[in-house]
Each structure stands twice: as structure tokens, then as C-alpha cells.
Amino acid sequence: MTTSTSAVTFDVDADGIATISLDLPGRPMNVINENLMQPLVEAIGRVASDAAIKGAILTSGKKDFIAGADIDFVFSITEPKIAFDLAEDLKKQLRKIELCGKPFVAAMNGTTLGGGLEIALACHHRIAIDDAKTKIGLPEVKLGLLPGGGGTQRLPRLIGIQASAPLLLEGKELNPAAAKQQGLIHDLAKDRAELLAKAKAWCLANPKPIQPWDDKKFKFPGGDSKHPAVVQVLAIAPSMANAKTQGNYPAPRNILSAIYEGGIVDFDTGCRIESRYFAELVVSQVSKNMIGTLWFQLNGINKGKSRPAGIEKTKTQKVGILGAGMMGAGIAYVSAKVGMQVVLLDTAQESADKGKAYSAGLLDKDIKKGKLLPTDKEAFLSQILATTKFEDLAGCDLIIEAVFEDRAIKADVTKKTEAVLGANVVFASNTSTLPITGLAKAHSKAENFIGLHFFSPVDKMPLVEIIMGEKTSKETLAKGFDYVQQIRKTPIVVNDSRGFYTSRVFGTYISEGMALLAEGAHPRSIEVAGLQAGMPVGPLALSDEVSISLALHVLEQTRKDYAAEGKVLEARSADTVIEKMCRTLDRPGKKAGKGFYDYPAAGTKGEKTLWKGLAEAFPLAKNQPEQQELIDRMMFVQAVDAARCFEERVVTTVADTNIGSIFGWGFAPHQGGALQFINAYGPGKFVARAQSLAAKFGARFAPPKSLIEMAKAGKTYQD
């Protein structure tokens, strides 16, 4: 007998086994909301009350099982009591599954995340289709939340406190084989038919199941929160988490608290404790920042919000990459990874081969980890042609230039490429600072010229900044946008200017660190302030990473460009530091083993340490600034310049501005991006603080006119 509601199909077979199939209308994936839960609650009640039903299989009518909670609804909650009741209501239904006295099996036919996994964990048995693309996990921490459906209580009781803590704290997603190995699921199936057959067989073989935590003899695997080994771990876990997050993210703290407190009380009390910690996070500013940007704005970008409408999507078949250095080699790898044919060109065959070898090295790592078969390596590498001949670019439908950041060199390879391919193929430059409009002058059709700014290392960094020149056509933009999505990166679209958006604003963070050093602030205080602000690395360490000598080269190139235009580049204290480090002190950065830090010799182990000569090179001021002032200067200088970029239409959407800041240079993710930082701070308060910093330290902190007007109107940055 089959009955159906809008979201749930309920079928009972001749053996009394019910199959509850979830299929939420109007959504590509099942999400936990009222439209799904109401009929699911009815189905759970029917299984529990109907004596003719012997057990139930919970599965999905969609490609995936359940993606988690409806983030739209969670984001809308502003009252802790509503969040608490929401979590408690879900747990009440999950306890009905566990305590009804009949077997429930989760037949997980695809990705199962967040609240979806919590529902599965409440079932007595879990089986998943063995597909490496399937994701299983509790990723709530990535949005500033914790699992609110019992995840912090069931997982530790299932696999142990020590084993569950990393999964909860990092939001790690596992494939089915790894999930089975770690104990999250019990069995694997090769396809849907076997999945349902195994689920039914388990129901019939286990008519009176009991969850481990409901067994009177239950003990935590590896010990509860009072066990000496666990006590030792939990004693240091908060300090380790705080060292990693600098206290900017409340979710890890709440997760650890829920795990610890849940480990010294009974299961139901632990679940209630979890609901309280969940409610606190749902209404926190951090979760609002992260959900607003890393969920809604990111999804909008990935759905093509910044792509020109009305232009048919294209698929790049063959890409030519000019320059086989670190950037070119990385671009070659990510392009070949999605099946493109790649021509990797350099001036010497040895250099081209070395660029191709970069892909081989990454593939070897995947083989070692079991992610790739050795036989797949040669097929992958056969897609990359390493060459010195421009003639080999024939047939390419996209060219990406990734040569040295020098206008003359870039112009030379542009002309040589056009001589082979003609002017109709889209030509992209991977420049990070040189204006695209100027570079496009070397090409006979500027409308086909665009910037594709990748970030290093290309295989890991998720963002590509697409730069529009003055004459770049919408068709060229669409081609670039489609390519970026084809290689599974996130594209943001910006207009042409020196440094574009990400390089320009990223530079303010590094420059402010150098300015503080020049003023006599203690270098350790500078670095710690950067980390406390939520940046991934201190500004001096970051300067070393990107190379102080590269900063000097960019500075010299900028001065030349200004001189050519009859202008003089305004002197900055950071410029003095750059020149002194490179020309006087011969400390050009990490690559040379010496910059603001000293680095262990190549091939040796050891930690980098701040160079002891810094205090002599840049004498300390007698009166050191307050730490909060250092933090404010580093954050405000970035946010103010991001607001200027938005005002100047260098970047045209709030989403691109926020996502570009987080993915492009690591702007404090808990703040939700550079413009959301202003929103959350309060535009009026932000303007006042920026103006006080400008009065004390210079015009770089002065808020732009549009921000001042927005603050007066009581508005915030919104697309």
C-alpha cells in the first residue's frame, strides 16, 4: 500500500516494512524545513502506532539523501528561544525513531550532511551507496553553527569523544568508504537496488533494535568526559582551538562544551545542553556574517550572478598557457584535471617540462593517498603538451598568459600568439597588478582581451578574479566566467584599475604592517594583532611569503607608469621599509631564506623566527600603541579601501566584494567579508572610527563619500 504527501511517499510491503521516501517539491535537494518535517513526523508516528508495520526504511526520492537544515529559515531566526525550540522539536522526533521499538534504517542514496546526517544517526542502522563523490558529515561549524539535532551527542557516543571531536570541529566531509571506516555508517551498497534490499533484510533480522546510548550497559568508546585519556585531550583542546581561531569563532568553543558536558550526563540531558549552545550560535553576529556571505552570496556568485545574461554558455576544449612557472603550471593542472587539452609553453623546453612535472608531482601525492590509480596518471599527463613552439597553440579556444609581471614581456608573447591564432581567440592575462586596458594595446582586438587573476597555489586557492578592460566585450567576459566555473573555481568580476580589487586591498594590509614597523611598533605585536584580527597570517610574514622583492618590483613599475603619465607616486612609509629591506639589508623574503623572518635552511626542519636585527633596523618606539589600535588599523585600512573600490565601481556587487576579500586574500572570514565588516560594525560607528584614525594616521583611513552618505541614511551594503 502506497500513500503520498507533497514531500513524503509512504509504502508498506507484504512483509510489513515501510519505505519512507523523501522528495521535497521545488528543491533540488531535500532540506529540513516545515514542508519536509510535517509529513515526516506523520510517517514516523504511523510506523510507531501501526502494529502491522514491522520496521521502516528512510530514503530519498532525489539523487541525494538530505542536505541539512533550510539555511534560509535558520538565518532568519533572531530570538534564541525560537532556535532552542527548533532544535528540541527535531530531537523529539528523532527520539521517537530511536525509542519506538521498531527498526529504522537510513538508506543513504547520496550526499548526507548536517541535519540529514543527524536524522540518519537516529536510525538504528545506516547504509550508503558506495560512491566516492558522495559527502557525509556535519559541516555546521563552517557557517558558525553546531549540529542542533543531537550530532554533538550521538557522534561521540557512536565513535568516541576523541574520534568525533575533529569531525565536529573541522566540519570534515567523508566519502561513504571513509565514513564506514570511521564508524558513522554500518554498510555499503553498490546501487539503489542493493541499498534497499540490504535495508529491508536488516529490518527483518533485527525486530527489536536499541541504540547503543539507550542500552543500560552503554559506555563511551574510549571513555566518557571523566576518563583520564579523554580528560587529557579535553584539557588542552580549548586552548588549541583558541590558538587556531584567536577566539573569533564561538562555534568550536560551543562544540567542545557540548561534547564535554554531554559526556558527563545522560543522553537526553546532553541533547538539551546542545540545544542551548546551538541557540546561542544561531543568533550570533558571527553566524549571521558567515551564512550571509559564505552561503547566500557565494551561492549567488556560483549561480552566475555576475555573468552577462543572454549569452550561451561555452566549454573550453583546449587552452594555451604562456609561461610554465608556478602560476602557469598550476593553471595547466587545474585545466587538465577537468579534461581540457593543455598546451604549456615556455621559452626553454626544460622550463616547459618542469611546469608539466608540477602536475606529475601532485598526481603522485594523490596516488599515495589512494585518490588516484597509477594508470590514471599517464592519461592525465597526456593532456598536457609541454613546448616552446607557438605553432603548437593551434586549435586553442582560450589563451592564458602567465609570464613575468613585465609589460614588455607580456606584449611580446601576446603578439606572437596572435600571429598563430589570429585575433578572434579570447586572450587572458594572469597579471595581478598591471591594468588590462594597457596590456590589451598589444592585441589587435581589445574586445577579446581580459584578465584572469589566479591565486597561488592555483590547485588549492578557490578564487579567480576576472578583470574587464575598457573594451572587453560581454561575450569575452562570459567565456572567461564559464572557464573559471569549468575548472571549479569561484569567479568574481571586477573593472580595470591598478591592482584591480584583490591585489590593491590586500596590499593595504601588508603596507599597514610595514607602516607600523616604521613607526616603531614591536614586530611581534604587529604579527599577533594581524592574527587576533582574524587574518590567516601576520602582515610581516605575509610580506615574506609573497616576496618583499616582488613588492619592490611592483613599486618600481608603478613609479614608471606614473612618470609616463606625468604624475608622481605619493611616498609611503611602507615604501621606505620595502627599499631598505631589499637594497640596504638584502632581505628580500622567504624564497631567499631571509626577510622579516629567518627561515631554516632548505631540507632542514625548524620554525621561522622573527629576524633579531629588526629592532636595530627599525628602532622600537618608547611608547607602544595599544593592541586594539593595531587591530583596528589593519582591519579599517582594508575595509575602507574595499569601500572605495565599491564606490569607484572597481568591484560592482557586494557579493563579489565580500567573497573576493575572504577567498582572495584571507580577510577575516568570521567578519563575512570587507563590506559585511562595515555592516556589522555599524556604518555610523565605522565612519566615526575611520575618521578618528584618518585624523591621527593619514588619509588612507578616510571613509569614502558614499559610505558617509550611506551611514547618514541608516543604510548598509546590500546587493
* 525 is a domain residue: yes
Across the chain, what does the average pLDDT equal?
A: 95
Q: What percent of the chain has pLDDT over 90?
A: 90
Question: How many domains in the chain?
Answer: 3
**Residue 310: Cβ-neighbour burial (10 angstroms; 0-12, 13-18, 19+):** exposed
pLDDT score of 561 = 84
pLDDT score of 354 = 97
HSE of 507, CA atoms in CB hemisphere, 13 A: 20
- Lowest mean pLDDT of 252-266, 602-616, 650-664, name the range: 602-616
* 673 is a domain residue: no
Grid cell locating 553: 618590483
Name 289's bridge partners. Answer: none
* 660 is a domain residue: no
- Both 612 and 641 in a single domain? yes
- Both 467 and 520 in a single domain? no
CA distance 502 to 464: 10
pTM score of the predicted model: 0.92
CA distance 18 to 103: 10
Torsion angles phi and psi, residue 598, rounded to 5: -95, 140
Contact at 8 Å (CB) between 144 and 286? yes
Nearest residue to 650 (alpha-carbon basis) of 478, 479, 451, 485: 451
- Both 448 and 531 in a single domain? no
* 294 is a domain residue: no
Confidence grade of residue 2 (pLDDT, cut at 50, 70, 90): low
The mean pLDDT of 713-718, rounded to a whole number, is 97
Of 481, 497, 513, which one is at a domain's C-terminal end?
497
- Both 113 and 134 in a single domain? yes
Residue 251's contacts (CB-CB under 8 Å, 6 or more residues apart) are: 140, 141, 144, 145, 146, 281, 286, 287
- Both 487 and 569 in a single domain? no
- Helices and strands (DSSP H and E) totals, the chain: 30, 22
Of 447, 471, 497, which one is at a domain's C-terminal end?
497
* 355 is a domain residue: yes
- Both 508 and 638 in a single domain? yes
Residue 600 pLDDT greater than 90, yes or no: yes
In DSSP notation, 131-175 reads: -TT--EE--GGGGT----SSHHHHHHHHH-HHHHHHHHHH--EE-
CATH number, domain with residue 254: 3.90.226.10
pLDDT score of 515 = 97
Residue 371 pLDDT greater than 90, yes or no: no
Contact at 8 Å (CB) between 322 and 402? yes
CA–CA–CA angle 122, 294, 633 (5° rounding)? 130
Residue 225's contacts (CB-CB under 8 Å, 6 or more residues apart) are: 161, 231, 234, 259, 260, 261, 262, 263, 264
The mean pLDDT of 119-123, rounded to a whole number, is 98
Residue 316 pLDDT greater than 60, yes or no: yes
* 666 is a domain residue: no
CATH number, domain with residue 513: 1.10.1040.50
- Lowest mean pLDDT of 359-373, 480-494, 534-548, 556-570, name the range: 556-570
Q: What is the dihedral of CA 345, 350, 351, 354, to 10 degrees?
A: 100
* 670 is a domain residue: no
* 239 is a domain residue: yes
Grid cell locating 680: 556589522
Handedness of CA 460, 461, 467, 473 (dihedral sign): positive
CATH number, domain with residue 477: 3.40.50.720
- Both 509 and 473 in a single domain? no
pLDDT score of 221 = 96
Of 473, 497, 521, which one is at a domain's C-terminal end?
497
CA distance 689 to 460: 36
- Both 549 and 476 in a single domain? no
Handedness of CA 629, 141, 283, 669 (dihedral sign): positive
CA distance 646 to 716: 13
For residue range 461-477, list pLDDT tens digits in order.
Answer: 999 999 999 999 999 99
- Both 641 and 518 in a single domain? yes
For residue range 137-195, list pLDDT tens digits in order.
Answer: 999 999 999 999 999 999 999 999 999 998 999 999 999 999 999 999 999 999 999 99
CA distance 155 to 161: 8
Structural domain including 426 reads 318-497
- Both 472 and 615 in a single domain? no
Active site residue 227: no
The mean pLDDT of 426-452, rounded to a whole number, is 94
Q: Which of 453, 522, 553, 670 is catalytic?
A: 453
- Both 485 and 574 in a single domain? no
- Both 435 and 378 in a single domain? yes
CA distance 234 to 62: 40
Query: Helices 374-381 and 349-368 sit at what angle, rounded to 10 degrees?
Result: 150
Higher pLDDT, 434 or 540: 540
CA–CA–CA angle 565, 569, 573 (5° rounding)? 170
Higher pLDDT, 234 or 685: 685
CA distance 381 to 363: 9
pLDDT score of 264 = 96
Residue 447's contacts (CB-CB under 8 Å, 6 or more residues apart) are: 471, 472, 473, 476
Nearest residue to 502 (alpha-carbon basis) of 557, 433, 439, 434: 433
